[in-house]
Chain A
Amino acid sequence: ETGVTQSPTHLIKTRGQQVTLRCSSQSGHNTVSWYQQALGQGPQFIFQYYREEENGRGNFPPRFSGLQFPNYSSELNVNALELDDSALYLCASSGRATEAFFGQGTRLTVV
């Protein structure tokens, strides 16, 4: 167990809706990153937060947004859901070292 927890584990939403996914980082870690993993693919980097500021972003549109809180937990928000947003969403936390430790993921299905 990594100590990174994500909620919910599974979620079904309708196209056009908005969704919020949550992540609690491992104790002592101040950096959280989010990834989208489609079936059979590697994780795709969405963005990273360090001490409540976004400090890195992948090739995702602005409808993917996030927050990091003072306790270093984080949220991923996705607006105007599309069918292609169906995927496993992974959160990872890291500390002074660069390696990241992942949670178990949230499986999002958009219908």
Chain B
Amino acid sequence: EDQVTQSPEALRLQEGESSSLNCSYTVSGLRGLFWYRQDPGKGPEFLFTLYSAGEEKEKERLKATLTKKESFLHITAPKPEDSATYLCAVRGGYQKVTFGTGTKLQVIP
């Protein structure tokens, strides 16, 4: 069965303090690894899709990378508005999408 494990569960950073979030996965036939951001009470907001090991994507202060077993979301010089829960998900066979439980990020001014 496909599995996604995210760490840490929660992360508290000072504004400007860079860090990385981890997503470890096992999936039969990876058809995409996704990163989303979710604010309380709202639907997830799409950030990135990665398809193969070695792939990297960037958007503003965020950079996502992918290996055969894990993905990292690097946050450079975060701001308070980056505070949210970051979700990782994989799409495997039969179109099934499996999400992790997320990393709750708090950025303190």
Contacts and interface: CB of A to CB of B under 8 A. Distances in A.
B72 to A, nearest CB: 18
Given A42-B102, A45-B96, A98-B32, 5 more contacts: A2-B45, A35-B97, A42-B100, A43-B87, A99-B49
B100 A45 contact: no
Contact of B42 (A44, A101, A105): A105
A9 to B, nearest CB: 10
A100 B32 CA distance: 11
B19 to A, nearest CB: 20
Given A42-B87, A98-B31, A104 B43 contact: yes
A58 B91 CA distance: 12
A50 B95 CA distance: 10
Contacts of B31: 98
